[in-house]
């Protein structure tokens, strides 16, 4: 296939699955970036032969030595990623950078009018209107990679008068468990997702239901709907990836096997549909169940609803606090329910900015992280 991509965050879960898609479709890969995984980035560079790659500053010399026998241009640090986002000439930029680090590259690429396949939900949660305004100003195209938002995007091809978005989620590894039970869960238990192959951070977010909260906020911005028009539905089988109810009360659902390569490929090839490496969905013998989320046991979903309703810099505060708390939980420095408390307290104690600019968002994120780190 004669298409080209550049890929930010190539060594993470979404990044490696994106390269599976590139391999399957024969895509040209013009640029790659990673934070610290020098060995894997070297392997990817040798296989896909991009013109330029970028790595975290402290790993620059190591990668330069490893690739000294090649002609690839090596950039480094946040500025290196930003340069790739702004100047790479590929047809599609795939942003799979984890967390708030993806905000500046997304805005930069949007202002340049790029087609962006977007896997970095934290950027839209924190940046919100700043990102969507940049997309409008630059004439960019923002296509969702998250399975739920890809599903919603596909559903709305059947109509535009949306009554409600039904955002599905598996419920995570602790679905149906009590408050008492989850007090003692470990990081190792939290990252064992029952359905999806994901990185550690998003797996913890799935376990806490924060992932659904972040996705709810993302849906509000992506599809320009009021928060009350997005309803979270727990669907343990992860076959229905989301649904849209229209004004005539008809509901369109998108279904498929739980394989991220399906939605990655759709974002890259849209509006075409091409053969995929994902397995076929066999519906025979399957059971589909739908449940209400338990917001009392898992309060971060309710917090996300409050954050998007308040608006301003509050979603950025919540996201930054959550990223820091998840990091501490994965390091065994706090417990699972302590994670909830830290994120809630940081969000509720934040100074409100009603119309934040990009620097306000970055500062709000920094302050939230500092709050969490200082209250353990």
Q: What is the pLDDT of residues 156-186, one digit of tens each?
A: 997 779 999 999 999 999 999 999 999 999 9
Q: Identify which of 329, 355, 323, 374 has the alpha carbon closest to the alpha carbon of residue 123.
A: 323
Report the chain's mean pLDDT, rounded to a whole number. Answer: 96
Sign of the dihedral defined by the CA atoms of residues 264, 119, 115, 55, in that order: negative
Question: Averaged over 17-42, what is the pLDDT?
Answer: 97
- pLDDT tier for residue 196 given thresholds of 50, 70 and 90: confident
Please state, in angstroms and rounded to a whole number, the distance separating the CA atoms of residues 164 and 229: 5
Cα angle: 15, vertex 16, 17; to 5 degrees: 90
pLDDT of residue 105: 96
Question: Averaged over 307-322, what is the pLDDT?
Answer: 98
With a CB cutoff of 8 Å and minimum separation 6, the contacts of 278 are 256, 257, 259, 261, 262
Please state, in angstroms and rounded to a whole number, the distance separating the CA atoms of residues 78 and 66: 21
Say whether the peptide bond before residue 271 is cis (omega within 30 degrees of 0).
yes
With a CB cutoff of 8 Å and minimum separation 6, the contacts of 363 are none
| Tokens 């994902």 -> residue | 278
Instruction: List, in order of start, the domains of the chain with CATH numbers.
Output: 4-144 (3.40.50.720), 148-259+282-306 (no CATH), 311-376 (1.10.1740.10)
Question: Averaged over 4-11, what is the pLDDT?
Answer: 97
pLDDT of residue 89: 86
With a CB cutoff of 8 Å and minimum separation 6, the contacts of 372 are 321, 324, 325, 328, 342, 343, 346
Over its C-alpha atoms, the chain yields an Rg (Å, rounded) of 20
Work out the widest C-alpha separation in the chain, in whole angstroms: 62
E-strand ranges in the chain read 4-8, 28-33, 52-55, 73-76, 92-95, 115-118, 141-144, 162-169, 230-234, 240-246, 251-255
Q: Identify which of 119, 163, 340, 339 has the alpha carbon closest to the alpha carbon of residue 106.
A: 119
Centre a 10 Å sphere on the Cβ of residue 280 and count the other Cβ atoms it contains: 8
Q: Identify which of 58, 55, 218, 40 has the alpha carbon closest to the alpha carbon of residue 123.
A: 218
CA 63 to chain centre: 27
Question: Averaged over 294-309, what is the pLDDT?
Answer: 98
> What's the count of helices (H) and strands (E) in the chain, helices before strands?
17, 11
Phi/psi for 186 (5° steps) reads -105, 165
Please state, in angstroms and rounded to a whole number, the distance separating the CA atoms of residues 289 and 234: 8
Question: Averaged over 4-25, what is the pLDDT?
Answer: 97
Lateral strand order in the sheet of 92-95: 73-76, 52-55, 28-33, 4-8, 92-95, 115-118, 141-144
What are the tens digits of pLDDT across the range 39-82?
A: 999 999 999 999 999 999 999 999 999 999 999 999 999 999 99
Task: Assess contact for 25 and 5: CB atoms under 8 A.
Answer: no
What are the tens digits of pLDDT across the range 231-276?
A: 999 999 999 999 999 999 999 999 999 999 999 999 999 999 999 9
Phi/psi for 241 (5° steps) reads -85, -20
pLDDT of residue 164: 98
Please state, in angstroms and rounded to a whole number, the distance separating the CA atoms of residues 286 and 89: 44
Please state, in angstroms and rounded to a whole number, the distance separating the CA atoms of residues 134 and 130: 6
pLDDT of residue 197: 67
């Amino acid at each position: 296939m004669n298409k080209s991509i550049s890929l930010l965050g190539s060594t993470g879960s979404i990044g490696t699955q994106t390269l599976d898609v590139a391999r399957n479709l024969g895509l040209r890969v013009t640029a790659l970036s990673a934070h610290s995984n020098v060995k894997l980035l070297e392997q990817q560079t040798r296989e896909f032969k991009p013109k330029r790659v970028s790595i975290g500053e402290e790993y620059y010399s190591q990668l330069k030595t490893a690739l000294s026998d090649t002609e690839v241009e090596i950039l480094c640090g946040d500025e290196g990623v930003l340069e790739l986002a702004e100047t790479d000439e590929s047809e599609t930029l795939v942003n799979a950078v984890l967390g708030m680090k993806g905000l500046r590259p997304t805005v930069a690429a949007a202002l340049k009018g790029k087609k962006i396949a977007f896997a970095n939900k934290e950027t839209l949660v924190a940046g919100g209107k700043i990102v969507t305004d940049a997309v409008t100003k630059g004439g960019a195209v923002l296509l969702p990679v998250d399975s739920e938002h890809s599903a919603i995007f596909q559903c709305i091809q059947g109509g535009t008068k949306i009554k409600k978005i039904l955002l599905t989620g598996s419920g995570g590894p602790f679905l149906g468990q009590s408050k008492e039970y989850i007090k003692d869960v470990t990081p190792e238990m939290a990252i064992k997702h029952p359905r999806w192959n994901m990185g550690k951070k998003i797996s913890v977010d799935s376990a806490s239901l924060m992932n659904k909260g972040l996705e709810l906020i993302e849906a509000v911005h992506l599809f320009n709907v009021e928060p009350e028009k997005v309803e979270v539905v727990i669907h343990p089988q992860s076959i229905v990836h989301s649904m849209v109810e229209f004004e005539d009360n008809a509901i369109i659902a998108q279904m498929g096997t739980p394989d991220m390569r399906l939605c990655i490929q759709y974002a890259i090839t849209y509006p075409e549909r091409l053969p995929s490496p994902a397995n076929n969905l066999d519906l025979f013998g399957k059971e589909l169940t739908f449940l209400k989320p338990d917001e009392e046991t898992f309060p971060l979903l309710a917090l996300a609803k409050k954050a998007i309703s308040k608006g301003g810099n509050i979603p950025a505060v919540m996201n930054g606090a959550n990223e820091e708390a998840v990091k501490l939980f994965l390091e065994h420095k706090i417990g699972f329910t302590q994670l909830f408390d830290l994120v809630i307290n940081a969000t509720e104690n934040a100074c409100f900015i009603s119309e934040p600019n990009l620097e306000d968002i970055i500062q709000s994120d920094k302050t939230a992280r500092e709050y969490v780190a200082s209250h353990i």
